[in-house]
Amino acid sequence: MGKKLIQVEHVSKKFKDESALKDISFSVHEGEIFGFLGPSGSGKTTTIKILTGQLAQTSGQAFVLGKPVEQIDESIYEQLGIVTDNSGLYEKLTVYHNLSIFAKLLHVEKERIDNLLEKVGLFEHKNKKAGNLSKGMKQRLILSRAILHQPKVLFLDEPTSGLDPVTSEAIHSLLEELKEMGTAIFLTTHNMEEAAKLCDHVALLNDGLIVEHDTPKALTLKYNQDKRYQILLKNEKELLLPHTTESIEQINDWLRNDELMTIHSCEPNLEKVFLEVTGRELI
């Protein structure tokens, strides 16, 4: 594994008498996509705010790019990308201009703007005012701005919430590309499918506590208690069979007689894991 670019040690956060985060620890390495999953109010945005120097923790320590978060300043901001709800755009400026302002500030070559606009499918809209873009287009522009300078660490607060599958897919490919280049990506999401597909590791957050932390695959296998085969036969009959010797003989028969259409194992998805661990739906 590469360098630890985000390190969080026993961080807690209290708002008056409410504990929003209770003793959180994890780390994110170079080239890793880390998913922070949890229902509304579980403390995801609070964590991002602490890690980006917008909010002070109550106790514990956190480091981004090796620097304590209390000391985050301009020099670190140049290596960070942040996408949150309040990542405002200059509504009256064009798409291109919104990016060129940042390109100048961050010493990014102008060619990269067109290149990025192509990738996120905004090239033909580059002369439109940002204020006139659709929601999905705005989201892609906000992301483009956050990654214009190829940050070493990227924080994304629900980057694809409410977007169509094609737009989400475009964003996913961009994230994969950044990961390949070594960016550490910290992502919050309610979307378990997205997390399972994209993330190297996920932490499940509930009421300010990390209740599970592993690879998506390991988590789904760990909670695969009720092992069954889901069978579809060519005669359109559907069956759920337990993992027994009889089932295997039966399946062999169907295979020999060419009667089997599909067969699936039924490990739970991350959504079911979350429900099992916390007793809560992920909404």
Single residue of 41, 66, 131, 162 touching ligand ATP by CB under 6 A: 41
Q: How far is the CB of 42 from ligand ATP (least distance, A)?
A: 4
| 47 versus 183: smaller Cβ distance to ligand ATP | 47
Asked whether the beta carbons of 33 and 175 are under 8 A apart, the reply is yes
Single residue of 45, 168, 183, 206 touching Mg ion by CB under 5 A: 45
52 contacts ligand ATP (rule: CB under 6 A): no
* From the list Mg ion, ligand ATP, none, partner contacted by residue 41 (C-beta under 5 to 8 A by kind): ligand ATP
Single residue of 8, 11, 32, 44 touching ligand ATP by CB under 6 A: 44
Q: How far is the CB of 176 from ligand ATP (least distance, A)?
A: 24
Asked whether the beta carbons of 207 and 55 are under 8 A apart, the reply is no
Single residue of 7, 11, 26, 38 touching ligand ATP by CB under 6 A: 38
15 contacts ligand ATP (rule: CB under 6 A): yes
Residue 4 forms beta bridges with which residues?
29
| 36 versus 63: smaller Cβ distance to ligand ATP | 36
Single residue of 42, 52, 98, 168 touching ligand ATP by CB under 6 A: 42
Cα-atom radius of gyration of the chain, to the nearest Å? 22
245 contacts ligand ATP (rule: CB under 6 A): no
| 38 versus 268: smaller Cβ distance to Mg ion | 38
